[in-house]
Structure 1
Amino acid sequence: MRYLLEIIASVAALLAGKDSVLTSVQIYPNGTYPGAIDPAAEPGAQFLQTSPPFYPSPWMNGQGEWADAYAQAKDFVSQLTLLEKVNLTTGVGWEGEQCVGQVGSIPRLGFRSLCMQDSPVGVRDTDYNSVFSSGQTVAATFDRNLFYQRGYAMGAEHKAKGVTVQLGPVAGPLGRAPEGGRNWEGFSPDPYLTGVAIAETIKGTQDAGIIACAKHFIGNEQEHFRQVGEAVGYGFNITEAISSNIDDRTMHEIYLWPFADAVRAGVGAIMCSYNQINNSYACQNSKMLNNLLKNELGFQGFVMSDWQAQHTGAASAVAGLDMTMPGDTLFNSGESFWGTNLTLAVLNGTVPEWRIDDMAIRIMAAYFKVGLTLHEPPINFDSWTLDTYGPLHYAVGENTQQINFHVDVQGDHGTLIRDIGARATVLLKNVDNALPLSNPKFVAVVGEDAGPNLDGPNGCSDRGCDNGTLGMAWGSGSANFPYLVTPDSALQAQALADGSRYESILDNYASSQIIALVSQANVTAIVFVNADSGEGYINVDGNEGDRNNLTLWQGGDELIQQVSAHCTNTIVVIHSVGPVIVTNWFDSPNITAILWAGVPGQESGNSITDVLYGKVNPAARTPFTWGATRQDYGTDVIYVPNNGNGAPQDDFVEGPFIDYRAFERQNTTPIYEFGFGLSYTTFEYSNLQVIKHNVSAYAPTTGVTEAAPIFGNFSTNLTDYLFPNASFPYIRQYIYPYLNTTDEKKASADPNYGQTAAEFLPPHATDGTPQPLLAAGGAPGGNPQLWDVLYTVTANITNSGTRDGEEVPQLYVSFGGPNNPSLVLRGFERLSIDAGQSTTFSADIVRRDLSNWDTVAQNWVITSYPKSVYVGPSSRNLPLSQAL
């Protein structure tokens, strides 16, 4: 009865505009709650679904590793005027200065503008920078050290260019639908793998001395309909962006999971996405930002909008947004939801003083946490031109000076990129040891994907084409190549060194010439094919960001079948942004080897040559499943609006069953399972051991916060906020915090100005009194006990072959419940093992790894269903198992 009363009280709290916190529910030894909804019950998402509001926005408290940064930020923010705080939170406008996004500076304290810059594969829109392998590609290495090294190297290059915030890494999209256009920017549709990869990348990036910005938060799983203007430009009649409708359990167990790892890793910034979640825009969704991110996960950094993803002013401020990018409501409009309007909102009490202080504290704490100082070197590049001299304010062509200093930041990163590309190459098929090659007599390379873009590697803006080899996909996640080693050039160099005969045909449609070439005696034919995708603002061959299908591009499937029909030793190399359908040709006896090389970056040709010739023994694992048909995945992109001219509704009805989890549930056999990958040697698994640790019982976090802190008073005299005198330079379209008149309504340019906060903000939105702590919260990443180690699993791995190599043992857990995935990844390690030698694989299982999300208790629980652990080389090859 007591539990029932608490549920009733919880519902009442929700109806009052606040999420409930059940603090007194007893947690039983077996992890179940008497009378609670089974946390393993069937999840569900509904058309036009909504989620409850959550207010007020939690204020930063400096918990965990943030204490020192918080103290520095308090000292700094305490010196700021209101105008300076607003300047810190508001972008200066599209093309307002040198970076893709900048906020205003604080000259009085010697603080130069924060510089926000893409991308997650290299410094975008500049020169003398490196282009790294995509996130999805490095994920295939299953190598924590490479995740970190790549993050550190990218961070170092951004730092040397004068960047403050690197806009990456990516956990949204996670990869729910394999056709999703930006899946390649992220890591894997498996949340555990993505969580490890994003955490290590963040650590590397921030150790290099700049702020990492994890994105896009959250449910941003397709490009179609993410922005109204973009969709209208493609001829669609919608008035609101797409809504990703996600139930509470699925949100926690799938899409929020890697962001929890990002927060626990200390990420300084998180970017909210374009889409709506449960019919509320991500950048003003209080449930997502206030409840899940800042309260439950204890995020201490700042939330930044995606570019033009802000749709309200005061409402987004109280919902948890801390920085608006690029600052203007529409590109080059000169108007802003914040800027002047945020100044007014604080002055008239609509946005409480503690909220603007919290925004500033969060930004500056992230700044100081990574070691940034008030004496950072100037920005030495310009995003809008590679010319040495040009306008500092590009949008309006004003203030011409030297803006590009052409600083070379590459260092020796080419070696790392080459290594990642090789160690990320997945060997999918290798019949009778067709690979590695050893002084082949005659090498014939076929396919446009082996050669160059005839317009140069940077010949298409933001890589918005599929010409030549696929070293990088398209969109804002791209960067300019300093060079691109093509497979054709690298393989030709190897052939010359070996004394092999070498010919290549780089036209997919030169059928008669291709047949004549590959029909000759002694030929080893290597066919290069690809499939591309990218961000929605670019349309390539009718693909509006998202892929229209999962087939190969440029007639790749027909090319493979043509070559293999005339050559009994055909090797296929796939560069792609995700899985492709290989059903019609993968099992041909004439196709002796298949390799997936992902999107490898600038050293593409060298990387694949290293693998083909055995300089690197492949050990990579596919970070996604290869289905026989498109329908096997059970998810897809919505290509046509389904809600009249309103927001298209994307119902995540599959719940947690995406990628390999869906294949297992449907009992569908994939072509290549998640985690699969071959080697040039063989490995054996034995001696599984499970050690159980004695840990204290899981306890909900309890108590309340301190009251919202305020750092410094401010004048309410509007005269003090007027634009400075005529000697102060005014830049057209630039977003300032100043007022141009003491008439508040005129200054705001808002015809509805004058409403009080109580009239249009939700209940509790401005409440700065102490607030209850969430049971699942308590520290960055969530309740600290979620990371208690419950079990340690070990196994012996032996290299039983004749070559030294690397192996990736994987640990999976079965939750046992009827509505749980049959297996989920919960550990992996990349091990180097010499021929004939053995080593020990070890992985810890923490409490979170065995927990389900209980939607009633709003906490993690371990159910009473029997659980087992499995170890093996892939998700469907698990020779070792034991009950927990």
Structure 2
Amino acid sequence: MDFDELIARLDLSTKIRLLTGADMWSLPPLPEIGLDRLVMSDGPIGVRGEQWSSADPSIALPSPTALAATWDVDLVRRAGALLAQEARRKGVHVLLAPTINLHRSPLGGRHFECFSEDPYLTGEIGAAYVEGVQEGGVATTPKHFVANDFETERFTADVQVGEKALREAYLRPFERVVRAGAWGLMTAYNSVNGTTMTEHSELVNGVLKGEWEFDGFVVSDWTALRTTEAAAMGGTDVAMPGPSGPWGEKLEAAVREGRVPESVVDDRVRRILRLARRVGALRGAGPHSAPPPARERVDGVALAREVATRGFTLLTNDGILPFRQVRTVAVIGAAAAEARVMGGGSAQVFPDRIVSPLQGLGERAEVRYALGTDPRIRLSPIPGPATATFLDAEGAALSEQPLAAAEARWIGQLPPDVDGDRLTAVRLRTTYTPDVSGGHQLSVAGVGAFTVAVNGETVLDELLEADGDDPAAAFLSPPERRVGVAMTAGEPYEVVVTHPAGAFGGMAFVSFTVGHANPSPGEEELLAEAARVAAECDVAVVVAATTPEVESEGFDRTDLRLPGRQDELIRAVAAANPRTVVVVNAGSPVEMPWTGEVAAVLLTWFPGQEAGAALADVLFGDAEPGGRLPTTWPKRLEDAPVVDVTPVDGVLAYEEGVSIGYRAWERSGRAPAFWFGHGLGYTTWSYDSIAAEGTTVTVAVTNTGDRPGREVVQVYVAGALAGFDVVEAAPGETVLTTIFLPERAFQVWDGGWRTVEGEYAVEAGPSVGDLRLSATVKV
């Protein structure tokens, strides 16, 4: 039975009901036509599923910036296959990823979730991600369409951008993933040139569905769709979440009164049915109605470790790496003991294990740990098992849910055995046994009323109110209250937190963390201790990190400095031991004023759950750091040519046009700390020759070092990235790579795509700042 026949069997109200979420994460089933419930889930580094809880763990891959840093489309495609496997395991049909907005300004708070400043690299990595996931029978929704490259006032901001920049930069990655066959796409919160994206018929109906012939479904970002007729005519197909929203009865009335053609509704239903057939949720719909045959299982832990090493980017190295004959390692920093493995917001999942740098390095050498300084604004969750009990009005338990740590989070869906109508409170219970006596700190972070009791005694009873009006920020970066509690080493302390909670409109919003910190001798003593420990060891490894208050969904950054006193810590450690390696655990650029004072700088991005294991592999030379920068790294924020992320009177003007990233740096005449494409391995390479004929470029490179290695050969046309390839060679071996240049490399937007005839310089090298070979092609 074809789609038109199925649609003809549905009345208008049923068709319209299908266009709005049944709840936070799904579309309703229609058994009468064989349509199963369609489930969506956040990504992009893992598949959360409907339960945003440690009770339902997920594999956590490295951040998208780390994926892009591999410059390896085959590896990214394998990561996509793993995500599809995870989605099927959790009953998910649609992965709400990847994010293919651009790194326009280094202040973008969510850049860790995007791939690159370069539209070509973003498109190629994004296409590989889409293909890997969808080959596993799971849909993707590349997002956020379009020009959602900032977080400040993201719900209401109007991006003013010229058509040339829109086409050549911001739309280009979306065009590439559509050509790769994406089954879905998500519209953004923001407006573009005066029209909000959920209503932007020119871009959604005209460009996406018309010009690009996109046959997938278009879903709104959550709560982004706010009108009835304008959104109905604007091209967005599905309003999430539900069941309430601006469609439903209002849209039905608009259709019956002739203000919205019923054919518009039918087209949306057809796209949803096509999606369902593709993901195996439409029974009896022909040969594409079932998931693909089962594939060989992907080892998620092993792949997470491999992707991390391949994304690690070695920025400087005086020869200290890889470690040789190292017996003792000083491991220093808060993030060394508690790695920041992912960014905050919708990208967050709960893995069932996290390997910290301290743990990973401790398996390879004798390690001595020092905190040095603690930049974290919020206390970390109390580790170890906890239990969340859902209570009714009489205090009776509706359900008990095990947790891996003292962090309770259910946004959208409650556990299946909890009756939301009866729920009145959630009680989290855990036991903490300190290893040191003194004045400990406990905290609760969340929004609402909280009561904290320790061994039956109430120590905190307070109402915490959110700052600002961004609901995402309220849950993802909530206020925190702390209380001091005297504890004795070795004695168990039962900590119980009670929080009023309920379900509203069928959706739950439970999100809070119970944190802990040991007694502190003070920052000066911590810094001095770190220097002493470093001086006693063969080498020192300082892990410096951003915090969830710096890189997260819901807000942009205010500067590029490492939070707290980490710069001071690095300098103190390097002064005590010149054999100091700094590991930068950040999803996007930070200022590094101490680069010339340390032996090596290794960028791990947000490295995923296998962080420490991958770090040990790279530092000790079992694996080569394979990463190359997907975004230009400034020395100082004030040097960056494009910075502004704050709308003025609701408008954010992209006045720089197409000049973002390395092209803007080149025009500015200023040199960054590290150019786009930069990254060192553990061997050296010569670039021997280049030959260009038409749109085919062949480059010869030789491994001139003493160990096998991997190089990312980059090809630029007229100063813009136009192709790349990852090559491998043994010592002394020469390899040839052939790169096919896309037609778009020779085109500009001028009311339409126009090929500019003439001679072009084609250059190749290991980064945009180090182009060693040049040839000329005529178009």
Q: TM-score range by the shorter chain?
A: 0.7 to 0.9
Contact 1:178 1:578 in 2 (8 A): yes
SS at match of 2:762: strand
| Residue 555 of structure 1 pairs with residue 555 of structure 2 | no
- 1:797, 1:411 → 2: CA distance? 33
Q: Give the conservation status (yes or no) of the 8 Å contact 2:692–2:698.
A: yes
Query: In the alignment, which of 265, 268, 274 is matched to residue 365 of structure 1?
Result: 274
* Structure 2: distance between partners of 1:541 and 1:474: 7
Partners of 1:523 and 1:569 within 8 A in 2: yes
Map 1:856-867; keep pairs closer than 5 Å.
858-864=751-757, 866-867=759-760
Q: Is 2:516 the counterpart of 1:601? A: no
Q: Deviations over 1:184-223 (max 9, x none)?
A: 1111011011000110100111111111111111111111
Structure with the bigger percentage of strand: 2
CA pair 507-80 structure 1, distance change in 2 beyond 3 A = farther
Partner SS for 1:357: helix
| Cα distance in 2 for residues equivalent to 1:862 and 1:668 | 31
The residue that corresponds to 1:422 in the other structure is 309
Residues 148/104 of structure 1: CA separation in 2 closer, same or farther (3 Å cut): same
Candidates 838, 841, 849, aligned match of 2:745 = 849
User: Aligned pair 1:681/2:683, yes or no?
Assistant: yes
AA in 1 matched with 2:706: T
How much does 1:543 deviate?
A: 9.8
Q: What is aligned with 1:346?
A: 255
For 2:599 and 2:125, locate their aligned partners in 1 and report how far apart those are by CA, in whole Å: 32
Matches of residues 682-701 of structure 1 in structure 2 within 5 Å? 682-692=684-694
Give 1:450's aligned amino acid. A
Say if 2:419 is the partner of 1:504: no
1:296 and 2:211 matched = yes
Residue matched to 1:316? 231
Q: What amino acid maps onto 2:70 in structure 1?
A: T
1:529 to 517, 540, 544: 544
In 2, Cα distance between equivalents of 1:658 and 1:254:
9
Is the partner of 1:337 in helix, strand or coil?
A: coil
Q: 2:579 aligns with which of 563, 566, 569?
A: 569
2:13 touches 2:252 (CA, 8 Å); kept in 1? yes
Q: Following the alignment from structure 1 to structure 2, what is the Cα–Cα distance between the partners of residues 488 and 176? A: 34
Equivalence map 1:108-119=2 (5 Å): 108-119=32-43
Aligned partner letter, 1:342: L
The counterpart of 2:556, out of the listed 546, 559, 583, is 546
1:475-525: CA deviations, max 9, x gaps?
012111211100000101111xxxxx32011342411211211223x5201
Q: Which one scores higher on RCO, CA 8 angstroms, separation ≥ 6? A: 1
822, 831, 836: which one aligns with 2:732: 836
Partners of 2:5 and 2:710 in 1: CA distance = 50
Letter in 2 for 1:673: W
Q: 1:152 corresponds to which letter in structure 2?
A: A
Which structure 1 segments of 5+ residues have no match?
1-70, 228-240, 329-334, 377-408, 453-468, 496-500, 534-538, 693-790, 815-822
Shift of residue 261 of structure 1? 0.7
Identity value in percent: 34
> How far off is 1:554 after superposition?
3.2
Q: Secondary structure at 1:669's aligned position in 2? A: coil
Alignment of 1:175-214 (within 5 A): 175-214=103-142
Deviation at 1:372, TM superposition (A): 4.5
How far apart are the structure 2 equivalents of 1:215 and 1:303?
10
Paired residues of 1:88 and 1:104 also in contact (CA < 8 A): yes
Deviations, residues 351-394 of structure 1 (Å, cap 9, x unaligned): 11211111111122233234544289xxxxxxxxxxxxxxxxxx
What whole-Å deviation, never above 9, does each CA across 1:266-303 have from its counterpart, x for those lacking one? 11111111111112111011222122211222211111
Change over 3 Å in CA distance of 1:864–1:348 after alignment to 2? same
The 1:803/1:72 distance shift into structure 2, 3 A limit, reads: farther
Q: Cα distance, 1:542 vs. partner?
A: 11
SS class of match (2:117): coil
> Could you tell me how far apart the structure 2 residues matched to 1:375 and 1:571 are?
59
SS of 1:322's partner is coil
1:651-697, Cα deviation, whole Å (9 max, x unpaired): 001111111111111121111100001111111112211122xxxxx
Structure 1: which amino acid aligns with 2:370?
I
* Structure 1 residue 412, shift from structure 2 partner: 1.7
Between the two proteins, the alignment pairs up a number of residues equal to: 611
Please show how residues 160-559 of structure 1 align to structure 2 within 5 Å: 160-172=89-101, 174-227=102-155, 241-327=156-242, 335-374=244-283, 412-431=299-318, 433-452=319-338, 469-495=339-365, 501-508=366-373, 509=523, 510-520=526-536, 523-532=538-547, 545-559=555-569
Q: How far did 1:865 drift?
A: 5.4
Alignment partner of 1:802 out of 706, 721, 744:
706
> 2:34·2:282 contact (CA, 8 Å) conserved in 1?
no
Is contact 1:111–1:375 with CA below 8 Å preserved after alignment?
no
Instruction: Give 1:134 deviation, angstroms.
Output: 1.2
The superposition leaves residues 595-632 of structure 1 with CA deviations (integer Å, 9 ceiling, x where unpaired) of 00011110000111111011111231011111122122
Whether the 8 Å CA contact 2:98–2:142 is kept in 1: the answer is yes
* Alpha-carbon distance, 1:72 to partner: 4.6
Amino acid at match of 1:86: I
How far the C-alpha of 1:831 sits from its partner, in A, is: 1.1
> Does the 8 A contact of 2:550 with 2:557 survive in 1?
no
Residues 222 and 637 in structure 1, CA contact (< 8 A), matched pair in contact too? no
- Residues 1:880 and 2:773 are matched in the alignment: yes
Question: Does the 8 Å contact 2:324/2:620 carry over to 1?
Answer: yes
Counterpart CA distance in 1 for 2:747 and 2:550 is 43
Local SS of the residue matching 2:35: coil
Does the alignment pair 1:587 with 2:596?
Answer: yes
Specify the code of the residue in structure 2 equivalent to 1:604: A
CA contact 2:343–2:551 (8 Å) conserved in 1: no
In structure 2, do the counterparts of structure 1 residues 540 and 872 end up closer, same or farther at CA, with 3 Å as the change threshold? closer
Aligned equivalents of 1:809 and 1:541: distance in 2? 30
Deviation at 1:81, TM superposition (A): 2.8
CA deviation map 1:17-73 (0-9, x unaligned):
xxxxxxxxxxxxxxxxxxxxxxxxxxxxxxxxxxxxxxxxxxxxxxxxxxxxxx954
The equivalent of 1:743 in structure 2 is none
**Residue 66 of structure 2 is aligned with which of 137, 162, 177?**
137
1:113-158 Cα offsets, whole Å, 9 max, x none, are: 2111102111221513211111111100010111101111112211
**Counterpart amino acid of 1:872?**
G
Cα deviation for residue 638 of structure 1 reads 3.5
Amino acid at match of 1:518: A
Find the aligned partners of 1:75 and 1:859 in 2 and give their Cα distance. Answer: 38
Amino acid at match of 1:357: D
Letter in 2 for 1:528: V
Give CA deviations for 1:576-596 in whole Å, capped at 9, x if unaligned: 1211111x21112xx111100
Per-residue CA deviation, residues 522-560 of structure 1 (Å, 9 max, x unaligned), is 520111001245xxxxx5699962122111123221111
Picking from 68, 74, 80, the partner of 1:151 is 80
Aligned to 1:668: 670
* Aligned alpha-carbon RMSD (Å): 2.0
1:632/1:367 Cα in 2 relative to 1: closer, same or farther (>3 Å)? farther
8 Å CA contact 2:226, 2:245 repeated in 1: no
CA distance in 2, matches of 1:106, 1:418: 41
Q: Quick one: which amino acid aligns to residue 568 of structure 2?
A: E
Cα shift readout 1:424-470 (whole Å, capped 9, x = no counterpart): 00011110x21001230321011011112xxxxxxxxxxxxxxxx21
Q: Matched residues in 1 for 2:340 and 2:99: separation?
A: 20
In structure 1, distance between residues paired with 2:246 and 2:75:
41
Match of residue 642, structure 1, among 639, 645, 648: 648
> Which runs of structure 2 are paired with 1:767-786 in the superposition (5 Å)?
none
**Residues 179 and 375 from structure 1, CA distance in 2 versus in 1: closer, same or farther, beyond 3 angstroms?**
farther
